[in-house]
Amino acid sequence: NRRNREAINSANSERISNYRTYRAEQTFAVTRGKWYYEVELLTPGRMLIGWGHASKLDAYYPLGTDSYGYSFDGFHARRFHHNVFDGFGKQWSKNDVVGCMIDLHDKTVSFSLNGELMLDNIGNETAFEGLEVDDIGFVPVLTSFSGQKARLNFGQDVNSLKYFTSCGLQEGYEPFCVNMSRSLTFWYSNFIPRFESVKSFSRSFEIVRVGA
């Protein structure tokens, strides 16, 4: 009935105004190897940064809500996967840089903060393990909550990465867009399966992409 439709529309409007989940296009998914990208925090608030399965991730929800997304929330110093938060790493500040790493051989996800590999509460360097790796693969994903800004760097220009040589290069990771001449297509979505290209303007969100 109309009352139910109005309630649903109100809930959807609140959801849309609160966050957006951004992800790379599926054609850029990686299925093997070790990959790295950076996110520079232009504001210190809440964001969820990490990786998601290219086709199964439900981008209607914040990254980590389902079993196909793996994220770090430095506003609260915790990791998020399968709708479970757990203490991890350090709290971030404005202008900090988060390194996001995925190892598809060992099936792990790790994160660094300003070139320092982050640990869980018992000292493990791996944020997530046991990834289900298939022929579809994973893509970078970021959920930005209202008012937050971030600069994403996928390393098309390797020299533009701020901490790759400190944490990533020596461990055998490659920049996500290394040797790519084509720019990486990024999308945002609130309603699956609809995806729209990221606009350069928004009343609540701003995403700045560097080198890709």
pLDDT > 90: percent of the chain: 71
Give the model confidence (pLDDT) of 33-51 as tens digits: 999 999 999 999 999 999 9
Q: What 3-state class would DSSP assign to 179?
A: coil
Q: Please give the model's pTM, rounded to 2 decimal places.
A: 0.83
Under CATH, which number does the domain 2-210 receive?
2.60.120.920
DSSP string, 56-86: T--TTS-TTSSTTEEEEETTTTEEEETTEEE
**Summary mean pLDDT of the chain:** 85
Give the model confidence (pLDDT) of 77-131 as tens digits: 999 999 999 999 999 999 999 999 999 999 999 999 999 999 999 999 999 999 9
- Structure tokens, 78: 């915790």
Taking residues 4-21, report their average pLDDT. 53
- Structure tokens, 108: 């792990």
Q: Which residue has the higher pLDDT, 101 or 201?
A: 101
Q: Which residue has the higher pLDDT, 114 or 187?
A: 114
β-sheet with 19-24: strand ranges across: 84-87, 78-81, 69-73, 47-53, 138-145, 19-24, 186-189, 196-197
pLDDT score at 197 = 45
Compute φ and ψ for 5, nearest 5 degrees.
Answer: -65, -40
Taking residues 43-65, report their average pLDDT. 95
pLDDT score at 12 = 47
pLDDT score at 209 = 53
Lowest mean pLDDT among 97-106, 145-154, 186-195: 186-195
Give the model confidence (pLDDT) of 121-134 as tens digits: 999 999 999 999 99
